[in-house]
Amino acid sequence: GQNIDQPTEMTATEGAIVQINCTYQTSGFNGLFWYQQHAGEAPTFLSYNVLDGLEEKGRFSSFLSRSKGYSYLLLKELQMKDSASYLCAVRDSNYQLIWGAGTKLIIKP
C-alpha cells in the first residue's frame, strides 16, 4: 500500500530552526509537495520538489531524496505565525496526491 509518514507533533522556540521529516512509499513518484495549514483553515501551498536536492524559498527550504523516499521541510527564524500543521503529499503514478496526516508545529516564545 501507499504510505506517507510524518511526526504527529513538534515543538520549537521562536527564532530557532526546525526540520520536519517526511518518508514515503508510493506507487510511482511525480513530485512531492509541502503545504501549511493553520487551524480551521484550508491548506496552502509551500513548496514542490521533483528532483533531488534542496529548494529554498525565503525562510522555508525543502529537500528531497528520491532514492531514500525522504523529504524534509526546514523552517528558519521561526515566528509565532508559523504555528500550524505541515502536510507532506506525494503525487503517485496515477497523478493523484497521497497525503500524510500532517505535523502539528507548536512555537513557544
Partner 1 sequence: IAGITQAPTSQILAAGRRMTLRCTQDMRHNAMYWYRQDLGLGLRLIHYSNTAGTTGKGEVPDGYSVSRANTDDFPLTLASAVPSQTSVYFCASTSGGATDTQYFGPGTRLTVL
Site for partner 1 in 42-81 (CB under 8 A): 42-45, 48
Element (H, E) at 56: strand 53-57
In angstroms, give the least distance from the CB of 74 to partner 1. Answer: 20
Of 10-18, 20-28, 38-46, 69-77, the segment contacting partner 1 by CB under 8 A is: 38-46
CA-based radius of gyration for the chain: 13
Residue 105 found at the interface with partner 1 (CB under 8 A): no
Query: Min. distance of Cβ 37 from partner 1 in angstroms?
Result: 9
**What single string gives the DSSP state of each residue in 14-57?**
TTS-EEEEEEEE-SS-S-EEEEEE-TTS--EEEEEE-SSEEEEE
Size of the site for partner 1 (CB under 8 A): 21
For residue 90, what is its C-alpha cell? 506525494
Q: Which residue, 11 or 44, is less far from partner 1 as judged by CB? A: 44
